[in-house]
């Protein structure tokens, strides 16, 4: 028995000769807000993407809710990611051809929700993130802060148990970044989601329950 939601043991990941993760072990509890900090190139993004089941480490173990991620088939991991995880990256990565509400509804559509209910739920999240008026706008016409709020709505729309965020405010000025963070923390508080966030901003890290600092592919 364990109350750890995510558990990583001796995780290693290399890109060619670059050892990005050199034996990382970490436990994350349900609902915990964790900040991953450290210098550029220390392996923060690689760790986040590995914990989220997006990158496959070549050694070590990562478990989610007692299940080893590497025991799951690719299809099972994709399903787990879609149902349990929300991911938001530095530049939001919205689909440019879709409107804001279509972007937010996308994870629900992939889970075969009916279009009308997906649309309704997506609009609800946009409104909660103070972006209801942007529903029918395409990403190219949004400011950076607006696009990040839409990306956050998309990460939250499935009510994930974990939100993985890689420098979600990195492309924003202080005010817009602050708004996105407040929205993220409020939403997580409401749903009980854990947050695993890469940041180089000390003020952001200070809001987390715990900070782990990466250095040269290990936790310092
Ligand atoms: N796709 C890739 N191909 C080759 N090398 C990579 C790749 N992604 C990351 N690396 C290398 O792996 C190491 C760790 O990178 P990672 O992006 O995880 O660090 P980071 O701490 O998130 O850095 P930053 O703060 O600059 O985003 C770096 O040396 C980086 O150059």
Q: What is the ipTM of this complex?
A: 0.96
Q: Give the ligand 1 atom nearest the CA of 21.
A: 14
Is the CB of residue 15 less than 8 Å from the CB of residue 190? no
- Cα(56) to ligand 1 centroid in Å equals 15
Angle at 36 (CA atoms; ends 47, 25), nearest 5 degrees? 50
Q: Give the ligand 1 atom nearest the CA of 16.
A: 4
pLDDT over 90 (residue 91): no
Alpha-helix runs per DSSP H in the chain: 44-51, 74-84, 100-110, 115-128, 144-156, 174-191, 202-207
Give the span between the Cα atoms of 69 and 25, in whole angstroms. 15
The pLDDT > 90 percentage for the chain reads 67
Confidence of residue 92 (pLDDT cuts 50, 70, 90): confident
Distance of CA 157 to the CA centre of its chain: 12
- Predicted pLDDT of residue 1: 41
- Predicted pLDDT of residue 24: 98
Is the CB of residue 197 less than 8 Å from the CB of residue 190? no
Q: pLDDT digit string (tens) for 98-110? A: 999 999 999 999 8
Whole-number Cα distances in Å, 46 to 33, 97, 130, 171, 182: 18, 28, 31, 19, 25
| CA atoms lying within 13 Å on the CB side of residue 80 | 20
Judge if the beta carbon of residue 199 lies within 6 A of ligand 1.
no
Domains and CATH numbers, the chain: 32-42+73-219 (3.40.50.300)
Q: pLDDT digit string (tens) for 34-81? A: 999 999 999 999 999 999 998 999 999 999 999 999 888 889 988 898
Judge if the beta carbon of residue 13 lies within 6 A of ligand 1.
no
Judge if the beta carbon of residue 73 lies within 6 A of ligand 1.
no
- Predicted pLDDT of residue 2: 52
Closest C-alpha among 119, 196, 202 to residue 165: 196
Judge if the beta carbon of residue 20 lies within 6 A of ligand 1.
yes
Q: pLDDT digit string (tens) for 126-150? A: 998 889 999 999 999 998 888 989 9
């Amino acid at each position: 028995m364990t109350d750890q939601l995510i558990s990583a043991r001796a995780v290693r990941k290399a890109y060619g000769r670059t050892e990005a993760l050199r034996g990382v072990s970490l436990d994350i509890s349900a609902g915990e807000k964790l900040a991953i900090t450290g210098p550029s190139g220390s392996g923060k993004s690689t760790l986040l993407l590995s914990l989220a089941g997006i990158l496959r480490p070549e050694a070590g173990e990562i478990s989610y809710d007692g299940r080893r991620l590497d025991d799951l088939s690719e299809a099972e991991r994709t399903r787990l990611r879609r149902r349990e995880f929300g991911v938001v990256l530095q530049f939001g990565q919205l689909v440019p051809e879709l409107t804001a509400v279509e972007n937010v509804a996308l994870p629900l559509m992939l889970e075969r929700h009916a279009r009308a209910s997906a649309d309704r739920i997506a609009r609800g999240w946009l409104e909660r993130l103070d972006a209801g008026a942007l529903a029918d706008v395409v990403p190219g016409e949004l400011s950076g802060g607006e696009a990040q709020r839409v990306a956050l709505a998309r990460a939250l729309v499935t009510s994930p148990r974990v939100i993985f965020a890689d420098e979600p405010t990195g492309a924003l000025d202080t005010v817009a970044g602050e708004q996105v963070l407040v929205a993220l923390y409020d939403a997580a508080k409401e749903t009980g989601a854990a947050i695993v966030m890469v940041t180089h901003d000390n003020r952001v890290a200070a809001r987390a329950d715990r900070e782990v600092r990466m250095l040269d592919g290990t936790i310092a």
